[in-house]
């Protein structure tokens, strides 16, 4: 274990946020288009075969949230359009601002 300022890294609190996402695969562009009834709406160009759309969604969220892709995980719904996605390193408010704020392309 790595010590940092007298504390072990494993003991440091890690913030994380979860967001419900409805995904449209095979879209024209990878984009977050808004929110409806508390559910984030996202489009990805990848097909829903062999986890390609899930990977595209993880990359899209990581890019918009400015975190590494390893910090984005699909917690539930990997086989469906409605997913619960967890992003480590951000609070819920920070995640919402990153995903729904001004377009960052």
pLDDT tens-place string over residues 78-97: 999 999 999 999 999 999 99
Query: Residue 38: is its pLDDT beyond 70?
Result: yes
Predicted local confidence at residue 5, as pLDDT: 45
Domain ranges of the chain: 14-100
- HEC string of 5-53? CCEEHHHCCCCEEEEEEEEECCCCCCEEEEEECCEEEEECCCCCCCCHH
Instruction: Write the class of the CATH domain 14-100.
Output: alpha beta
User: What pLDDT is recorded for position 14?
Assistant: 64
Whether 67 shows a pLDDT value over 70: the answer reads: yes
Task: Please report the pLDDT score of residue 4 as a whole number.
Answer: 43
pLDDT at 3 over 90: no
Residue 104 corresponds to which tokens in the numbers above?
């960052």
Q: What is the pLDDT of residue 77?
A: 97
pLDDT for res 9: 41
At a CB cut-off of 8 Å and minimum separation 6, what does 44 contact? 23, 24, 25, 27, 30, 53, 56, 57, 60
Which distant-in-sequence residues (6+ apart) come within 8 Å of 78 by Cβ?
51, 54
Decide if pLDDT at 105 tops 80.
Answer: no
């Amino acid at each position: 274990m790595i010590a940092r300022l007298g504390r072990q890294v494993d003991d440091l609190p890690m913030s994380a946020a979860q967001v419900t996402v409805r995904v449209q695969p095979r879209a024209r562009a990878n984009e977050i288009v808004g929110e409806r009834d508390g559910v984030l709406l996202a489009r990805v160009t990848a097909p829903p075969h062999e986890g390609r759309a899930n990977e595209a969604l993880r990359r899209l969220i990581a890019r918009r949230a400015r975190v590494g892709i390893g910090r984005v995980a699909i917690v539930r719904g990997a086989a469906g359009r409605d997913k619960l996605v967890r992003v480590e390193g951000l609070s819920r408010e920070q995640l919402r601002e990153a995903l729904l704020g001004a377009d960052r392309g």
